């Protein structure tokens, strides 16, 4: 196995600046200089983004910046002993010992276990004392290798033999060297208590295991049996159900969702960020013991059986905007597969069945089969077989896209009210789709359904009624109220706005072609498949029937609308996968790969994940590129006889070369604009770093 640390990765008693970012950048450059990372900037960006989510300073003058990064080629430790110290956010002051843990995206389990073991060793006083006393880089490497091999530090007393079990199966050697040594012995009553805990952080390398060890050590000092399940990267062994059943309370020291939380249903719970498990493990243990004796303590909800709402457990200090963003991101993440799959199937249907397959698809799929091919189909279909397969593909895609708004609304409601919110959210989303409220209606319906389900779920009801709450009462009341509001109050104004915009657009057909192209481009990119986008698209589609050889304006409007709508996803794909990957998260880079196909298929929603994460930069940049594309398309007289399909309906597009040119120009403009805005934003963030709550 490759050695995790070498003397080239150690920096002793150096001035590396006075801010975490300068230290992290320096250590990232050392990792890259040894050939263990492909680039400095990508590694720094990933590590510093992790630092912004949760400060990595821990008690004892230690900091452990860490990340997973596509730039890392070999699992690596880099270490710096700082002079002067740098504040990494620990409560007891700045750090002089900094370990930078750099793991590849696909690091093997053995390496991850070693990285986690090193992190756990850093809460041992004898180990950190030896690091401070080391006189050379080689001695540091020897100490680290010894810690990874479970050898005692040369300058410290041997650790006690009685290790406390942790749920992940690793022994806890932190008890002897914990900062809690010397705590008073537990009373007999407290000593009989049993606790369980779950620790988890976004990367699952360092904080997860250090919090586990700190909590176990703190519990041991007060005579309490505590067993921990570490949900980290190096594997996790689930707590025995019998251990959970016997526990008096549970501690969740987590920055991400607890997997299998329903196993702890009904237990008194203390919920806090994972870093508190390192900084204040003794307080968390005391709070858990107090909760165990308090009949009114907050408990882990009985999913599907109790009225308690999950989201009472949200972290303290989280603002309403952050909660709203988390809910929207949840809805979008579940919606995207419907958009991607359905849109591509529709495009393939157009390619095989012709751009008029929409008129024939329903009859063909019902009345025909592979053994009874249709005789009536579009002239530009690939024959009877192509028409049949095209109709099938188109219909599957159309049905898939029909779930777009209900899925968005359903999972926004799920993010707010957990499982009881799903049904009301889907119903409200279906109502929004039925009324033509589109993407915006789905968001409003999902928020309404989720909030109402959350409120109803908190009502105090008789015990005999509790079992009916999540399966009958909450879905019934939340669906009735949320969907009723959509029908009675919200639908009318949205329809009125849609009709007014249609009339306004119709009045612009006599205006200059370029001005109209700019307006259509702006509308197509304003809300990425939402009501404004749909108004422009509906206006274009409605006019196709009036187009003739002598009146090609409707075809030109359709082409401008389609080209502009392709710009946002293609631009996000270009920016995140080609031009500047480091400005985008790994999830966005993966979404960018899919956005190439989505954009080519005229699925504007392919840019929604980017817009949801950074709307103030992505949307204006998209509108700028879309406006330019619409203007070029109209000026060049590009026409499209097809209402959908993007590049896949090339056969239905007049002046296809200029169609591609207009899209390419707008795509480049939007991509460069997003990159410029994100670079400016990153610089401002580095100047004044503010912690950002974890949303993973």
Please give the positions annotated as active site.
66, 201
In order, the DSSP letters of 485-550 are HIIIIIHHHHHHHHHHHHHHHHHTTTS-HHHHHHHHHHHHHHSSSSHHHHHHHHHHHHHGGG--SS
| CA pair distance 305, 265, nearest whole angstrom | 10
Closest CA to 41 of 612, 648, 634, 582: 582
| CA pair distance 497, 352, nearest whole angstrom | 36
Closest CA to 123 of 245, 237, 281: 281
Helix (H) or strand (E) holding 349: helix 320-353
- Token pair, residue 222, equals 């007060």
At 298, is the secondary structure helix, strand, or coil? coil
Q: Is 655 exposed, middle or buried (0-12, 13-18, 19+ CB in 10 A)?
A: middle
Q: Is 682 exposed, middle or buried (0-12, 13-18, 19+ CB in 10 A)?
A: middle
Do the bridges between strand 95-104 and strand 62-63 make them parallel or antiparallel, or are there none, so unpaired? Answer: parallel
Backbone angles phi, psi at 192, to 5 degrees: -85, -5
Backbone angles phi, psi at 228, to 5 degrees: -120, 140
H runs (alpha helix) in 527-614: 531-543, 553-574, 586-600, 608-613
| CA pair distance 581, 294, nearest whole angstrom | 51
| CA pair distance 39, 28, nearest whole angstrom | 9
| CA pair distance 17, 151, nearest whole angstrom | 33
From residue 689, alpha-carbon distances to 28, 209, 322, 584 in Å are 19, 26, 17, 18
- CB burial of 484-495 (b: ≥16 within 10 Å; e: otherwise) equals ebbeeebbeebe
| CA pair distance 96, 12, nearest whole angstrom | 10
H runs (alpha helix) in 149-261: 174-177, 188-191, 207-221, 241-246
In order, the DSSP letters of 246-281 are H-SEEEEEESSPPTTGGGGTTSBEEEE-HHHHHH-H
**Angle formed by the axes of helices 422-435 and 491-507, nearest 10°:** 30
- CB burial of 347-372 (b: ≥16 within 10 Å; e: otherwise) equals bbbbbbbbbbbbebbeebbeebeeee
Beta bridge partners of 86: 95
Beta bridge partners of 354: none
């Amino acid at each position: 196995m490759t050695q995790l640390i070498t003397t080239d990765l150690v920096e002793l008693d150096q001035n590396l600046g006075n801010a975490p970012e300068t230290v992290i950048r320096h250590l990232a450059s050392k990792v890259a200089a040894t050939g263990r990372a492909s680039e400095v900037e990508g590694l720094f960006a990933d590590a510093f983004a992790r630092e912004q989510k949760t400060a990595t300073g821990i008690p004892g003058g230690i900091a452990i910046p860490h990340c997973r990064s596509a730039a890392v080629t070999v699992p690596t430790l880099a270490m710096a002993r700082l002079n002067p110290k740098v504040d990494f956010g620990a409560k007891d002051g700045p750090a002089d010992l900094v370990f930078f843990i750099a793991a590849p995206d696909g690091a093997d389990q053995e390496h991850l276990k070693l990285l986690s073991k090193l992190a756990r060793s850093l809460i041992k006083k004898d180990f950190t004392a030896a690091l401070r006393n080391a006189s050379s880089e080689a001695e540091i490497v020897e100490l680290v290798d010894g810690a990874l091999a479970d050898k005692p530090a040369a300058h410290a007393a041997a650790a006690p033999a009685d290790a406390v079990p942790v749920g992940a199966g690793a022994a806890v050697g932190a008890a002897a060297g914990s900062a809690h040594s010397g705590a008073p012995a537990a009373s007999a009553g407290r000593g009989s208590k049993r606790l369980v805990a779950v620790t988890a952080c976004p990367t699952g390398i360092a904080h997860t295991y250090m919090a586990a060890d700190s909590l176990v050590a703190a519990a041991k000092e007060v005579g309490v049996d505590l067993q921990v399940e570490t949900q980290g990267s190096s594997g996790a062994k689930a707590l025995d159900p019998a251990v959970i059943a016997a526990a008096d309370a549970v501690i969740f020291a987590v920055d991400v969702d607890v997997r299998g939380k329903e196993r702890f249903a009904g237990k008194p719970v203390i919920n806090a960020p994972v870093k508190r498990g390192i900084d204040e493990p003794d307080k968390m243990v005391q709070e858990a013991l107090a909760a165990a004796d308090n009949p009114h303590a907050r408990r882990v909800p009985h999913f599907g059986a109790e009225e308690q709402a999950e989201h009472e457990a949200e972290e303290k200090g989280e603002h309403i905007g952050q909660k709203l963003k988390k809910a929207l991101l949840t809805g979008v993440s579940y919606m995207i597969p419907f958009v991607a799959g359905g849109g591509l199937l529709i495009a393939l249907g157009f390619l095989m069945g012709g751009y008029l397959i929409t008129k024939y698809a329903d009859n063909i799929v019902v009345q025909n089969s592979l053994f009874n091919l249709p005789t009536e189909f579009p002239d530009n279909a690939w024959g009877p077989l192509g028409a049949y397969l095209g109709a099938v593909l188109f219909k599957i895609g159309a049905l898939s896209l029909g779930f777009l708004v209900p899925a968005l609304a359903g999972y926004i409601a799920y993010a707010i009210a957990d499982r009881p919110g799903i049904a009301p959210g889907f119903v409200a989303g279906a109502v929004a789709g039925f009324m033509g409220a589109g993407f915006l209606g789905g968001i409003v319906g999902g928020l309404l359904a989720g909030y109402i389900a959350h409120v109803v779920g908190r009502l105090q009801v008789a015990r005999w009624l509790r079992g009916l709450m999540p399966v009958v009462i909450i879905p019934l009341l939340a669906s009735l109220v949320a969907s009723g509001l959509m029908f009675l109050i919200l639908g009318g104004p949205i329809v009125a706005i849609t009709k007014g915009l249609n009339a306004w657009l119709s009045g612009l057909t006599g205006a200059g072609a370029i001005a109209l192209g700019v307006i259509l481009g702006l509308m197509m990119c304003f809300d990425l498949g939402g009501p404004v986008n749909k108004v422009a698209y509906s206006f274009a589609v409605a006019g196709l029937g009036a187009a003739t050889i002598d009146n090609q304006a409707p075809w030109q409007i359709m082409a401008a609308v389609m080209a502009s709508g392709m710009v946002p996803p293609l631009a996000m794909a270009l920016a995140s996968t080609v031009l500047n990957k480091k400005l985008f998260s790994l999830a966005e880079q993966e979404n960018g790969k899919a956005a190439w196909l989505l954009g080519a298929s005229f699925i504007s929603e392919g840019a929604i994940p980017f817009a949801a994460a950074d709307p103030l930069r992505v949307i204006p940049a998209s509108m700028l590129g879309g406006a330019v594309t619409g203007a070029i398309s109209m000026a060049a007289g590009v026409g499209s006889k097809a209402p959908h399909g993007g590049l896949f309906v090339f056969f239905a597009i007049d002046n296809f070369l200029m169609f591609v040119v207009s899209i390419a120009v707008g795509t480049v403009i939007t991509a460069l604009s997003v990159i410029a805005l994100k670079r400016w934003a990153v610089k401002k963030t580095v100047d004044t770093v503010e912690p950002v709550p974890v949303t993973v």
